[in-house]
Amino acid sequence: MIAVLQCSAPVPFVQGKNQTPEPQGCRTNSVAWMERKRNKLPQPNEAGIKQKAMANQPVLRFAPSPNGALHLGHALSALVSHDMARAMGARFLLRIEDIDLARCRPEFEAQMLDDLAWLGLRWELPVRRQSEHFDTYSLALEKLDAMGLLYPCFATRKEIAAHAAAGQTDPDGAPLYPGLHKGMAHDEVRRRKDAGEPFALRLDMRKAIAAVKGNKQMPLAFTEFDPESGRARTIPADPARWGDAVIARKEAPASYHLSVVVDDALQGVTHVTRGRDLYGASDIHRLLQVLLELPEPLYHHHRLLTDGRGRKLSKSHKDKSLASLRAGGASVADIRAMAGLD
């Protein structure tokens, strides 16, 4: 039995049926500033009006990136979220996180959608694709920039690694940014940009935390829920351990951190389910939610699948794909058993 733990944020409702591949980008009042700025207020639709009374229905999602084949770990994450949505009577969305145009490919997306449908997942249509919403992320960046929280950084990964303090890393294990180019003169910034040098936009963490304190939103915390018992725990968030995190790059309009909090708010996601490897990301996600005045969802970080050496399954290590398991004769029941769900 999965207990229903409600999020307080209002959720717009557009009823989806048992359809497959293509989720609707629902919008919340808390992010109306994004829409108003470009005169893109959502138009009323018959389905939304009919279901207005169901506005507080929970919303869950699965948000993979089409930069490789799905493996057993993805199956676990997708099935955990989908099973939970069904048990809660919630809406279930699929979001394609294809903001990295250099690595994401249509053939990977097509195979991914086929694998998920084969697993028995059903989601609302149309599917939200990040690559179709770059303007929305730009508006979030403009808001952060207007608050004086962003600055350009031209340092390469090699330069950062060379200058970073030994043993100091962020929650992802990357060298903690040592502050290179922070406070660079405006003329030098303009010269480098005009020369076409690649750069990242970083969040000035000290200023960001000060802004949150100024709004009396400290201490930051997120809510972790247990879907079996329905209990929730308040977990302190410590975004400072990320240092001045990258929020966007010259070639990409938003980082994972920025795009995911904006998308979850626009789609009215109330319950975020994801792997334990993203537990630390909740620190910076809560910070961005407060800065951008976005609603706070509930979080559930599920266990990870590992190989015999304890390494997390990943695309980068070419772990056996769902497509190859299917081709080898595996059934959906087999996949669920291998993922430890049945």
Q: Is residue 12 part of a domain?
A: no
151, β-bridge pairs: 202
More confident residue, 43 or 262: 262
Q: Is residue 11 part of a domain?
A: no
| Mean pLDDT of the residues in the chain | 84
61, β-bridge pairs: 93
Which positions ≥6 away from 203 have C-beta within 8 Å? Answer: 144, 149, 150, 244, 245, 246, 247
The proportion of the chain whose per-residue pLDDT surpasses 70, expressed as a percent, equals 80
Q: Is residue 157 part of a domain?
A: yes
- Whether 8 has a pLDDT exceeding 70, the answer reads no
Question: Residue 183 — pLDDT band, cuts 50, 70, 90?
Answer: confident
Q: What is the DSSP letter of 165?
A: P
Q: Is residue 3 part of a domain?
A: no
CA 99/CA 256 separation, integer angstroms:
8
Q: What is the pLDDT of residues 290-300, one digit of tens each?
A: 999 999 999 99
- With b meaning 16 or more CB within 10 Å and e meaning fewer, what string describes 123-144? bbeebbbbeebeebbebbbebb
**Helix 205-214, helix 281-291: angle, nearest 10:** 60
**Angle CA 115–275–4, to nearest 5:** 90
Give the pTM: 0.82
CATH number of the domain bearing residue 255: 3.40.50.620
Rounded to an integer, the average pLDDT of 132-156 is 95
Q: Is residue 1 part of a domain?
A: no
pLDDT score, position 308: 64
- Whether 28 has a pLDDT exceeding 70, the answer reads no
Q: Is residue 18 part of a domain?
A: no
Torsion on CA atoms 284, 287, 292, 294, rounded to nearest 10: 90
Q: Is residue 154 part of a domain?
A: yes
- Residue 204 C-alpha from the chain's centroid: 21
CB 54, CB 12: distance < 8 Å: no
The burial class, CB within 10 Å (0-12 / 13-18 / 19+), for 188 is: exposed
Query: How many structural domains comprise the chain?
Result: 1
CA 303/CA 200 separation, integer angstroms:
32
Q: What is the pLDDT of residues 200-243, one digit of tens each?
A: 999 999 999 999 987 777 789 999 999 888 899 999 999 999 99
Q: What is the pLDDT of residues 46-90, one digit of tens each?
A: 344 334 334 689 999 999 999 999 999 999 999 999 999 999 999
The parent domain of residue 141 ranges over 29-338
Q: Is residue 8 part of a domain?
A: no
